[in-house]
Amino acid sequence: MSMDEYPILFIDADEDDHTIFKQALAELAIPNPVLVFSNAQTALDYLIATQELPFLIISEISMPGMNGLELRRQIEQDPNLRRKSTPFIFMTHPVVDYLVDEAYELTIQGLFEKKTAFQDWKNQLGAIIAYWNECKHPKRFAR
């Protein structure tokens, strides 16, 4: 399976951010399928049920119901989800010091503040995805 067949998951309660995220990936010509979730519980249910290995999880921290921190905690506590070794990144606004500390305690792979200008957000996403395309990572080696 080639890297561009792995889905990118985007979890955010803000529907406008869904649109911006999908538009940015389209303009960047990112070939990966994009799965968008409006809440963390639905994303967790998907992750538990699927056999797919997501390429990347990008989540907002602040969401109604289960927040992004709790989602990450649930993934870390599930042996099957941990074994998938999916890079987990927070893209959030606003960035608050204590949330940064708490997020990194959960062994995330990055935390970024959402950019306000579309071009800046697109550039940020492009850099994140380019990094993970180059990174050697468990579960992604051709065997």
Question: Between these two residues, 31 and 136, which has the higher pLDDT value?
Answer: 31
**Would 142 be classed as within a structural domain?**
no
Query: What percent of the chain lies above the pLDDT cut of 90?
Result: 80
Mean pLDDT score, 71-76: 97
Work out how many domains the chain is built from and give that number.
1
Q: In CATH, what number is assigned to the domain containing residue 83?
A: 3.40.50.2300
44: left (phi > 0), else alpha (psi -120 to 50), else beta? alpha
What pLDDT does 111 receive?
A: 96
Q: What is the pTM of this model?
A: 0.93
Q: Are 86 and 53 in contact (CB under 8 A)?
A: yes
What pLDDT does 4 receive?
A: 74
pLDDT tens digits along 18-38: 999 999 999 999 999 999 999
**Would 143 be classed as within a structural domain?**
no
Question: What tokens appear for 55 in the block?
Answer: 């390429």
Q: Are 12 and 18 in contact (CB under 8 A)?
A: yes
Q: Where are the beta strands (DSSP E) in the chain?
A: 8-11, 34-37, 56-59, 88-92, 110-113
Among 109, 74, 106, 72, CA closest to 89: 109
pLDDT tens digits along 39-66: 999 999 999 999 989 999 999 999 999 9
**Would 139 be classed as within a structural domain?**
no
Round to whole Å and give the CA distance between 91 and 61. Answer: 7
Q: Is residue 142 scored above 50 in pLDDT?
A: no
**Would 90 be classed as within a structural domain?**
yes
The mean predicted confidence, pLDDT, of the chain is 92
